[in-house]
Structure 1
Amino acid sequence: MARPVVGIVGNTSLLNDQYPIHAAGTMNTIAVAQVSGCLPLIIPSDPSLVSVEELLETCDGFLLTGGRPNVHPEEYGEPATEAHGTFDRARDAIALGLVRACVERGQPFFGVCRGFQEVNVAMGGTLYPEIRELPGRMNHRMPPDGTMEQKFELRHDVTFTQGGVFHEVLGAPKVRTNTLHGQGIKAAGPRVVIDGFAEDGTPEAIYIKDAPGFTLAVQWHPEWDAGNDPVSRPLFERFGAAAQAWADSKHQRMLKSA
């Protein structure tokens, strides 16, 4: 049987500083293929090339990846400032509508870093432009120097709601994670449940209340060493199971209509 298809929401970039590409990190495709057990499909996040409707019909689930550009603050009713950094309005146009459609349909998605922030904004929430400038907050940004292992090293704890969704999935009330983000949740959307916090109070794990499908999102990067990390692996395994369930139900619907 064919593997479920997971659309990996990509980012626009420049290869060799001049050749425009749509790209997704290798660690994302490895996590989806080897841990979730799904077929990874990189999505060009541009509404002039693809539509949300086409993506929903083509894919069984979606990985909302991290990315350097931030969600434009106009998407949550605030003006852009220098602190908000760079933007990708084409990705905004695809990802935010995709999140809302998946919530409505029960189609699974897994949000990571920028994807975590997209989920909150899509559901009516807002973001802080720079977490490290808030009183009492730590610097959550990626270390500017060092090896990849050093950049993705585990740097802080995340504590989950006792008996909550993440506690159940991970089998622990507290885990150690990496941290490579500048922005973070300011106000959660009306249906966004913050289910885990860093030790400085920064929201790190969310899901959508009363959604019929898998809607988990995390502020850290579980795709790093996902096959070996005891926190990352169950998240991608559970996401893969949700994508498989969606693919199975889609197959059953096609058989009934044949």
Structure 2
Amino acid sequence: MPSRSDRKPVIGVICNAHLINDQYPVQAAGEINLSAVAEAAGGLPLMVPAMPGAVDLDALREVCDGFVFTGGRPNVHPSHYGMAETEAHGPFDPARDAVTLPLIRACVAEGRPIFGICRGFQEIAVAFGCTLHPEIRELPGRMNHRMPPEGTLEEKFALRHKVLLSPGGRFERLLGKREVMVNSLHGQGILDVGEGIVVEGRAEDGTIEALAVRDAPGFALAVQWHAEWRAAQDPVSRPLFEAFGEAARAFAAARR
């Protein structure tokens, strides 16, 4: 039996509400998220329901050494960043907002590692003062960042554009390069950058694609692309998940 020091860090993976057969409600996490945590981060994935009535955030943080805030079709409700709701902003999942936004702030305050992906990127951004635009492709000079409507999963998650990383930033230090290729499957994007966020990467059209939480005492990074796709094999995703996993192991060891 492994010693306490050899145990894998427990990584909470935020779920999304889903309907089976358009009728039966469930909470689900994509297998690619779970595999990325297990294979690339070296952690033990624990699915976390986005149900505020079922989740005690204090107790949850006692169990988990870090969290992955996953992608999801519903968007963060614009009331969380001071804007009025429009049809373009939806659909929404207020239950997930109620779990993730306070959880993100609590984790950052105590140095507990967090990694945000797509919607999770937007959640971290909003938690620290950013606003979002409901359809980034409508802004002048921007390209369409949405998932292609047709094709296999391989085609939908294929690399589509470059991201230019900030010189000397956390991402450049982790990846050892200034330019990376990523996939692109999002409609919304950051509009105004909050004081609590450091922009660390942009697409060629200026869309913000990588960020860090300013002055966070622990690992607190997020990407707008879907880094969980084949993370163990991808030369960009794997170092990010490995660094997140190492931070979670260090946090777990410090707690013990």
Percent identity between matched residues is 60
The structure 1 residue matched to 2:189, chosen from 174, 184, 205, is 184
The structure 2 residue matched to 1:53, chosen from 55, 58, 71, is 58
Kindly indicate whether the alpha-carbon contact (under 8 Å) linking 1:131 and 1:184 is maintained by their aligned counterparts in 2: yes
Kindly indicate whether the alpha-carbon contact (under 8 Å) linking 1:51 and 1:94 is maintained by their aligned counterparts in 2: no
Partner residue, 1:89: 94
CA distance in 2, matches of 1:99, 1:27: 22
Query: How far apart are 1:11 and its partner, in Å?
Result: 0.4
The structure 1 residue matched to 2:127, chosen from 103, 122, 128, is 122
* Unmatched segments (≥5 aa) in structure 1: 252-258
Query: How far apart are 1:19 and its partner, in Å?
Result: 1.0
Query: How far apart are 1:2 and its partner, in Å?
Result: 2.0
Matching of residue 216 in structure 1 with residue 201 in structure 2: no
Partner residue, 1:106: 111
TM-score (normalised: structure 2): 0.97
TM-score (normalised: structure 1): 0.96
CA distance in 2, matches of 1:133, 1:199: 16
Q: Match for 1:221: what amino acid?
A: H
Matching of residue 175 in structure 1 with residue 175 in structure 2: no
Q: Match for 2:84: what amino acid?
A: P
Classify the secondary structure of the residue corresponding to 1:187: coil
Partner residue, 2:77: 72
The structure 2 residue matched to 1:14, chosen from 1, 4, 19, is 19
Query: How far apart are 1:51 and its partner, in Å?
Result: 2.1
CA distance in 1, matches of 2:36, 2:223: 15
Query: How far apart are 1:182 and its partner, in Å?
Result: 0.4
Q: Summarize deviations over 1:8-42 as a string: whole Å, max 9, x none.
A: 01101001211110001000000000110000001
Partner residue, 1:44: 49
For 1:135-174, list aligned pairs within 5 A.
135-174=140-179
Q: Match for 1:53: what amino acid?
A: D
CA distance in 1, matches of 2:242, 2:47: 19
The structure 1 residue matched to 2:201, chosen from 196, 215, 227, is 196
Classify the secondary structure of the residue corresponding to 2:140: coil
Classify the secondary structure of the residue corresponding to 2:42: coil
CA distance in 2, matches of 1:55, 1:170: 31
Query: How far apart are 1:235 and its partner, in Å?
Result: 0.4
Classify the secondary structure of the residue corresponding to 2:181: strand
Q: Summarize deviations over 1:79-137 as a string: whole Å, max 9, x none.
A: 11011120000100010001111111000000000000000101111100100111110
CA distance in 2, matches of 1:176, 1:210: 27
CA distance in 2, matches of 1:51, 1:194: 31
Query: How far apart are 1:191 and its partner, in Å?
Result: 1.5
Classify the secondary structure of the residue corresponding to 2:211: strand
Aligned length: 251
Kindly indicate whether the alpha-carbon contact (under 8 Å) linking 1:103 and 1:212 is maintained by their aligned counterparts in 2: yes
CA distance in 2, matches of 1:176, 1:3: 30
Classify the secondary structure of the residue corresponding to 2:191: strand
* Unmatched segments (≥5 aa) in structure 2: 1-5
CA distance in 1, matches of 2:173, 2:156: 28
CA RMSD between the two structures: 0.7
- Runs of 4+ aligned residues of structure 1 deviating over 3 Å after TM superposition are none
